[in-house]
Amino acid sequence: MTRRFRAAVLRGYEDPFAVEDVVLHTEPAPGELLVEIAGAGMCRTDLAVRRSAGRSPLPAVLGHEGAGVVVASGGGPGTETGVGDSVVLSFDSCGHCRNCRGAAPAYCDSFAALNLFGGRAQEPPRLGDADGKALAPRWFGQSSFAEYALVSARNAVRVDPALPVELLGPLGCGFLTGAGAVLNTFRAGPGDPLVVLGAGAVGLAAVMAASGA
């Protein structure tokens, strides 16, 4: 079954994100979910790709702070999250390297390959543009600058459906980056001095984590 929807496509470094009609040519495979995106944050990492700082394959659909509702599941491991669940999407991980097995998927041996350089466009395309040209579909395991995203179940975190899911996307990158820096990297405690430069999602999350540390 194919599914047509709109996505922000980045075709070349320094190009604008162009909203285009795209076609998803596949149903979720085992271990994958199809998510109707309700909202997505814009992170500096998305912009870094545009500035050639990354070597991510293009053309691509970026976006790695997506949130929405699961509309189809491929079943299989990790897909206890099911149709109708609200989810926040974060980074992808392999699930079987030593760090993934040790509950540290952020240090997955395949982190760069899966998130920054993976998801190379395939022929025949899983995700294609209106002319049938393949687009890289799995930026950070989600490519959420789109109305729908085919995601790894490993990076979908179920959230309370009573919450406004369209606002929750930055929890998937900016908030965990800012809070994680204070709680896990600095291990800040009461009385420790802390300077936060910038008050976007990362900075505000750092302040919130510090205030509760």
Question: Binding residue for Zn ion (CB under 5 A) from 26, 45, 79, 152?
Answer: 45
Binding of Zn ion by 43 (CB under 5 A): yes
In this chain, which stretch among 73-81, 99-107, 119-127, 147-155 interacts with Zn ion, using CB under 5 A? Answer: 99-107
Interface with Zn ion (CB under 5 A), residue total 8
Question: Binding residue for Zn ion (CB under 5 A) from 22, 37, 42, 108?
Answer: 108
Question: Binding residue for Zn ion (CB under 5 A) from 71, 97, 183, 204?
Answer: 97
Question: Binding residue for Zn ion (CB under 5 A) from 7, 171, 173, 210?
Answer: 173
Rounded to 5 degrees, φ, ψ at 196 are -115, 120
Query: Residue 122's CB: how many other CB atoms inside 10 A?
Result: 16
Q: Residue 202 contacts by C-beta under 8 Å, 6 or more apart in sequence?
A: 174, 175, 177, 178, 181
- Which strands make up the sheet holding 66-73, listed edge to edge? 148-152, 32-40, 66-73, 86-89, 156-158
Q: How far is the CB of 181 from Zn ion (least distance, A)?
A: 13
Question: Binding residue for Zn ion (CB under 5 A) from 72, 94, 196, 207?
Answer: 94
Question: Binding residue for Zn ion (CB under 5 A) from 37, 58, 61, 100?
Answer: 100
Q: Which residue has the tokens 């929807």?
A: 5
Binding of Zn ion by 182 (CB under 5 A): no
- One character per residue 120-159, x = contact with Zn ion (rule: CB under 5 A): ----------------------------------------
Q: How far apart are CA 58 and CA 60, in angstroms?
A: 5
Q: Given the complex with Zn ion, which of 94 and 157 has the nearer CB atom?
A: 94
Binding of Zn ion by 42 (CB under 5 A): no
Q: How far is the CB of 115 from Zn ion (least distance, A)?
A: 10
